[in-house]
Amino acid sequence: MTDPELCFLPATRLAAAIADGEISSREATEAFLAQIERVNPRVNAVVTLVAEQALDAAARADDHAANNDDLPVLHGVPMLHKDVHDTAGIRTTQGSPIFADHVPATDDLVIERLHAAGVITLGKTNVPEFAAGSHTFNPVFGRTDNPYDTSRSAGGSSGGQTVALATGMTPLGDGTDLGGSLRNPAAFCNVVGLRPSPGRVPQAPDSFGQYTLTTSGPLARSVDDVALLLSAMAGPDLRAPASLSDPGSRFRSVPEVDPRQLRVAVSADFGGRFGVDPQIVGAVRQAAETLASLGVRVDETLPDLRDADEVFRTRRAWQFASNLGRVVDRHPERVKKSVHDNVAAGRALTVTDLTRAMVRGERLYQRMREFFTGYDALLVPTTQVLPFDAELEYPTEIAGKPMANYLEWMRSCSDITATGMPALSLPGGFSTEGWPIGVQLVAGPRADLRLLSVAKVLEQATRYADRRPGVLDDPAG
């Protein structure tokens, strides 16, 4: 098996091969390091590499496997981490020049869990500054480019991870999602990104605790691989007050479902509530037709999402002011304008604003809960735009319609964030230009496993993820 072939093995297959001794952890680690060396100069996804540390850890993993039968689920599997998660002894910058040389002393909880599951850390992947925005560029490392067309955005904020996945530089990726940071770049890069139910993947430290809109979650090239990674990330922890009680092992495999027993709601354009590119609308309609052809009952309908935008914007601004206000005060000249603006918006909120957002958010949740008593999933666009010109900070129009503000082009994800429902972006086709399109599936409260099952039905019928990016044909550019 060549290195590139090994790098594109499904993570489920790779983990099993390492556990069975068919492939050594060191062999896998060397293959991914070689793939990074070949491909990363073309896309700039990997920003910190710890090759020798990884090889040493892989050797120890092989020694351990030789003398033990009871191995953790990801034993010896190499993996890159998003550069917002603290990694002990490894630089964590958050894409900010303020933290360009920051080396944490301890791991974030999600990294702690991945190491306990047996993961070998290869390094870190690029993010927007403070993970703010859905286009991956920052003043520390520059821009990460889309591997399907390097003139286009890779999305964000988990853009480095999705590019690394799409190009075989990592078999799995950890990410975070506030307004779409797992789903948006997954759609732009033709991989799978899951925003789990709040509390499914506990976060610590987290100064916002049980009030945070941000979730950590898995990225991979298939639904089965996403479930495998979720099994290592999920589960309760007393350090995270909002964590859910289900054990991570519950998600290790995706249950098969009979499509004829499923009922899916679909809205290809979110009911016209905001602009969506016509090619994306077409992809969602095609996905709905595919499900219907399998026997799924498909209804064209949309839950009542009124107030979702207000709820999201208010809570997001509050979170920004709380988490980054002190950084902006101390280093005003070293923080980008959009972060300044978000902090200012949060500080301008009144008690009335926050109370209204909480009350309306609760009503929104209850409407969604009621809606999903009749449906297994909702099918909608992941993004409103195709991968846009990477020279732009963000798209300023959709289908010729100017955007009113910076967040307007991300409502297909951020409105879903506000509902508190789990959501997944799945490869859904390609534009006429050859750019990836994602479709978004949403499920009811805490129905993460059901969501994965529905997504797998559509994935198996379409196989869009099998189409690899063009940059692999000419990694030297």
Strands 46-49 and 401-402: unpaired
In terms of pLDDT, which residue wins out, 473 or 172? 172
Give yes or no: 157 in active site. Answer: yes
Give yes or no: 337 in active site. Answer: no
Q: What is the mean pLDDT of residues 369-374?
A: 98
Residue 207: predicted pLDDT: 80
Residue 475: predicted pLDDT: 47
Residue 4: predicted pLDDT: 85
The pLDDT tens digits for 109-155 are 999 999 999 999 999 999 999 999 999 999 999 999 999 999 999 99
Check pLDDT > 90 for residue 244: yes
Residue 477: predicted pLDDT: 41
Residue 17: predicted pLDDT: 97
Asked if 440 contacts 451 with a C-beta cutoff of 8 angstroms, the reply is: no
Greatest mean pLDDT among 163-167, 202-206, 209-213: 163-167
pTM greater than 0.95 (yes/no): yes
Which pLDDT band holds residue 1 (cuts at 50, 70, 90)? confident
**Whole-number percent of the chain with pLDDT over 70:** 99
Residue 349: predicted pLDDT: 98
The pLDDT tens digits for 414-458 are 999 999 999 999 999 999 999 999 999 999 999 999 999 999 999
Peptide bond before residue 104 is cis, with ω within 30 degrees of 0: no
Residue 16: predicted pLDDT: 97
Q: What is the mean pLDDT of residues 338-355?
A: 97
In terms of pLDDT, which residue wins out, 69 or 462? 462
Q: What is the mean pLDDT of residues 82-96?
A: 98
Q: What is the mean pLDDT of residues 331-355?
A: 97
| Catalytic member of 96, 134, 153, 157 | 157
Q: What is the mean pLDDT of residues 223-235?
A: 98
Residue 404: predicted pLDDT: 79
Interatomic CA distance for residues 260 and 254, integer angstroms: 17
**Which structural domains are found in the chain, ordered by start?**
3-472 (3.90.1300.10)
Residue 383: predicted pLDDT: 98
Check pLDDT > 90 for residue 211: no
Half-sphere exposure of 192 (CA within 13 A, CB side): 31
What's the chain's average pLDDT?
A: 96
| Catalytic member of 82, 124, 336, 456 | 82
Which pLDDT band holds residue 217 (cuts at 50, 70, 90)? very high
Give yes or no: 153 in active site. Answer: no
| Catalytic member of 181, 222, 243, 453 | 181
- Which helix (H) or strand (E) segment is 397 a member of? strand 397-398
Check pLDDT > 50 for residue 408: yes
Report which of 463, 462, 460, 457 is spatially closest to residue 298, judged by C-alpha positions. Answer: 457
Interatomic CA distance for residues 93 and 127, integer angstroms: 9
Q: What is the mean pLDDT of residues 396-411?
A: 87
